[in-house]
Copies of this chain bind each other. A is one copy, B any other.
């Protein structure tokens, strides 16, 4: 039975690409996303065509018991979840305070924080019993500082960062590696950046900044770092790692 890498938020960007990478390295990847059965099937097929092993799950992770059931079922039917990739985005767009609704604010928290807490509640005891496991949590610039049109996103990601620290503090000594990965820049991903910008603008950005310019963060490159983190020896774990395109300005610079 292969070890399992469960990716929550497995779209055609970081999530799906990380799932593909772990499958290539010998894991069975479980891809979970909210919508687009076709896209999900394509990701699974691509993995299988390359000789990997994967399964797809279409579900709304933030609904009651969905995450809990998924994890227990995979543990029972598929294999031990050795790597958990928490990749649920919580971006509600660039909105000033009067444009941000209570509902958006709550949704951000459910995606960024409550979901991660629920996953930890159910999966940490299982990993603890095995004495090992890896939690890779995708995060964003907004976890490090709050810009004016990020009220929902920054509050959500600031909470996520602190939650990663509390989980690391409790569970690293028990053999579970928790990493908070700050993706500090635009990712070349049709499912997120593409949808936010619209097709035309996204195409243009890819041509001027992405592609051979390497100015957009490539999911394939990010996946390498995720995989690397999962393989670090426990005598030298990294907890917080930032990632950005070489030509981009770091969040702390102006």
Could you tell me which A residues sit within 8 Å of B by CB distance?
96-98, 100, 102, 105-106, 109, 113-114, 117-118, 120-121, 124-125, 142-151, 154-173, 175, 177, 188, 214-218, 220-222, 224-225, 228, 232-247, 249-254
Contact = CB atoms under 8 A, between A and B. Distances in A.
A61 B157 CA distance: 24
Contacts of A252: 144-145, 165, 251-252
A162 B250 CA distance: 13
B148 A159 contact: no
A159 B145 CA distance: 10
A173 B253 CA distance: 13
B237 A245 contact: yes
Contacts of A102: 114, 117-118, 121
A245 B240 contact: no
Contacts of A241: 238, 240-242
A145 B168 CA distance: 11
Given A159-B162, A235-B246, 6 more contacts: A98-B121, A149-B170, A158-B160, A220-B233, A225-B228, A251-B252
A242 B239 contact: yes
Contact of A251 (B148, B222, B247, B254): B254
